[in-house]
Amino acid sequence: MSSNARHVPVMLQRCLDMLAPALTEPGAVVVDCTLGLGGHSEALLTRFPEARLVALDRDPAALKLAGERLAPFGDRATLVQAVYHELPDVLARLGIPRVQGVLFDLGVSSMQLDEAGRGFAYAQDAPLDMRMDQTTGVSAAEVLNEYPPGELVRILRAYGEEKQAKRIVSAIVREREKEPFTNSARLVELIRDALPQAAKRHGGNPAKRTFQALRIEVNGELASVERAIPAAVAALSVGGRIVVLSYQSLEDRIVKQVFAAGATSTAPPGLPVVPEQYQPRLKLLTRGAELPTDEEIAENRRAAPARLRAAERIREDVP
């Protein structure tokens, strides 16, 4: 299957419409911090023919496929292998002081879910890897086989919001002593067996939360998001816009907090006139988080958990 055929960008039209007012001037720079297979990037370059794109991804396979897709746009597209929190370094290397648009499509990409050998999906048996960049870092199997039980419980609770973390980890520890974990099917079966019946009745595949927790741990995703969103806001010029798609509550909470802080006055209470340095530097463009339409979910089931938040830079930082 071609990358174009299997990749349906989530909430694409809404992302483009949100960014549009910031990308009308010739030479405007928009950063796609999560290139993936390049669906959002291709649409940005097509919709805004005067804009220049900088696109980041840590996955060499994604960069190769997206590079082929974006080749017709020539030097309007600059693709960089980097994690999104490295945005300030990337822009500095490229000599770009400020950008007019930033897009994040957080979480795991369609390609990573669809390539069985990556081990992201619990629906098919695969090696337990889950690294977005398979050239570096520890795999999910190493986390399962080597982390102390208490640390595994913490990860499942914090990153998977798994209420049955202790029960699942007890089963993992028992089984890994017999034989180390290597493949996803064994882990899925273990989780099914470990959970009480009541816990399996709701919420889809019972392995979903554990797989999410392992993926976040392996890729340091939340720590990266915590650094990346403020860095992206700081990189925006006045009038620039940032749009973030997140797929689970932990990511969405970080985005919400950064945007809310930027849109709030920091002045001490009771000042008759609020000095410039205390004024908000962001304007929220969404009321809460926007959700995909029923039509979009019907067309692309991976859009179902998406939450979109957007903000506009309205003021420079005042020292």
Residue 100 annotated as lining a ligand binding site: no
39 is in an annotated binding site: yes
**What is the C-alpha separation between 172 and 187, in angstroms, rounded?**
8
Q: Is 13 annotated as a binding residue?
A: no
Q: Determine contact, residues 181/145, Cβ cutoff 8 Å.
A: yes
129 is in an annotated binding site: no
218, 272 contact by CB (below 8 A): no
Q: Looking at this protein, which amino acid is placed at residue 190? A: L
Phi, psi of 109, deg, nearest 5: -80, 165
CA 25 – CA 32 distance, rounded (Å): 18
Give φ, ψ of 78 to 5 degrees: -115, 115
Is 59 a known ligand-binding residue?
A: no
Any known ligand binding at 203? Answer: no
C-alpha span between 184 and 207 (Å, rounded) = 10
Nearest residue to 26 via CA among 67, 76, 68, 62: 76
Q: What is the dihedral of CA 181, 185, 190, 191, to 10 degrees?
A: 110
C-alpha 127/C-alpha 119 separation (Å) is 5
Q: How many CB atoms lie within 10 A of CB 86?
A: 19
* Contacts for 202 with CB less than 8 Å, ≥ 6 apart: none
Q: Which residues contribute to the annotated binding site? A: 38-40, 57, 84, 105, 112
Q: Which residues contribute to the annotated binding site for S-adenosyl-L-methionine? A: 38-40, 57, 84, 105, 112
